[in-house]
Amino acid sequence: MSNLEDVFGVSGKQVGSYVEREEVDDHFIDALRTDKQIIVYGASKQGKTALVKKYINYEENIVISLSPRSTLKDIYQSILRKSGVSLKISYTEGTGDVSKVKSKASIQGAVALIMKAKVEIGLDKESNSKTDEKYDEIQFNLELPDDVADIVNRLGQKKVIILENFHYLPEDLQRAFSFDLRTFQDLKVRFVILGIWKEANRLAQFNGELQDRIVEVPVEPWLDSDFRRIINNGSSLLNIMFTEQVINECIVNSFESVGVFQELLKSTCQECDVLKKSSHQVIIDNMGAVKTAILKKTAEYSGRHLRSLEAIASGNGAVIQKDCPLPYFLQYYIVMYILDIGLEGFNGGVSRESLLHAIKEKHHRKDDLKGAQLTAVLKGLTELQSGKGISPPVIAYDSNSRQLKVVDSTFYFFLKNAHLQEIKDEIVCPMDVAEK
């Protein structure tokens, strides 16, 4: 019997209402038939992991979930460990975690132990024999992708390496990996990379040689027709029927986010006491249940987004020095502008030029502020959010279109339904702190 949790909502497992989209699923399937590296990208909660899990068995391949602290050495060490390679690693002075000078110890050398044979050794009459394992010891450099690829290839495995949360890596590491990825491509080590961003050709921007060596699969946009197919799939599993008014209300309030849409359907069913498949068809026609679901999700998203906006607005902790001009505090002005224009103004993104013009009108150092300063801050927003533990990131700058865009699909829902003026009042103005 189907349970609501198995049918609707955002889950780590595949929900029963999953729908295949020809332009996305077929594109991914075609990409798997090539030998190219695959990049799956889009805003958060838009089905990246669900897509990959449908066509690649996570248990039979190598999955690495990245964090803001991940380094390329960490990634390559995990690849080898999850490939079944035993490693002997020596570190610089210290425990391998922290050295005596309070800095992170680094890997000095590495040896891979690869089993080459099992040999039975004869013993006495009582013990008969035992199995002795023989290993090849291979010295290698954990920083070199060709060394790592060589060891993977020696194992004869053809596992796909899935890198989740690639956006957590700082831009300099993303750039460095884009060059390593070219090497892995040449040496037949296959990656599927999942990241939260909106721009096409992100890795190819870092390394132009990847242009014909990768396949990009964007998971957006989601269409109204896709959402209706989700409802059809889920309704048949639960023996329910949503009225057209309820369907439209859920679609309008999802802002093309499949994650928000799934959560609204799930919450609406809960409000109507539909928790599992019914023996008789249940009609979901209670608009009050939808409104309650929207209020619940607004409260849930508002708390997180308020904390995220407060963290972004505080910036990198610019130091206020006596007898010196105040810092620019551009992150604060960006947050205030977003809250000023709300959903109507931010839907689809804001150009750098519009943002600069609006900030200059109110900025405390408008005559000194230059476009290059704003651009630098915009490009650093993803890393800033990562450093402050904002997961997933809320906003990001698209260098291709030169626009600031929403990359957390729940943020539009928040902009429409939250009391933005109250949110503004709760965010501390750095100039007020400076005056005290």
| Encoded amino acid at 162, one letter | I
The residue extents of the domains of the chain are 34-218, 224-298, 311-435
**What pLDDT, on the 0 to 100 scale, is given for residue 112?**
57
Per-block mean pLDDT, blocks of 10 residues, the chain (436 long)? 88 89 96 96 92 94 90 91 76 50 50 50 50 55 85 85 91 92 94 91 91 94 95 95 96 92 95 92 94 91 91 82 82 95 89 94 90 92 86 86 89 89 89 62
| pLDDT at residue number 107 | 47
Residue type, position 176, single letter: A
pLDDT recorded at residue 169: 87
Please enumerate in sequence order all residues whose Cβ is within 8 A of that of 10, keeping only pairs 6 or more positions apart, or say none: 45, 259, 262, 263
Residue 271's pLDDT is 94
Q: Structurally, what CATH architecture does the domain formed by 224-298 represent? A: Orthogonal Bundle (1.10)
Contact present, 17 and 234 (Cβ < 8 Å)? yes
Neighbouring-strand partners of residue 109: 90
Fold of 34-218: Rossmann fold (3.40.50)
From CA 71, how far away is CA 65, in angstroms rounded?
12
Q: What is the pLDDT of residue 200?
A: 86
| pLDDT computed for residue 69 by the predictor | 84
Q: How far apart are CA 235 and CA 227, in angstroms?
A: 12
Q: List, in order, residues 6 or more apart from 291 with CB less than 8 Å away.
A: none
pTM over 0.85? The answer is: no
CA distance 425 to 146: 54
- List of residues 6+ apart from 27 with CB closer than 8 A: 215, 217
For residue 68, say if its preceding peptide bond is cis, omega within 30 degrees of 0: no
The pLDDT value given to residue 1? 59
In 3D space, the residue among 218, 222, 271, 221 whose CA is nearest the CA of residue 246 turns out to be 271
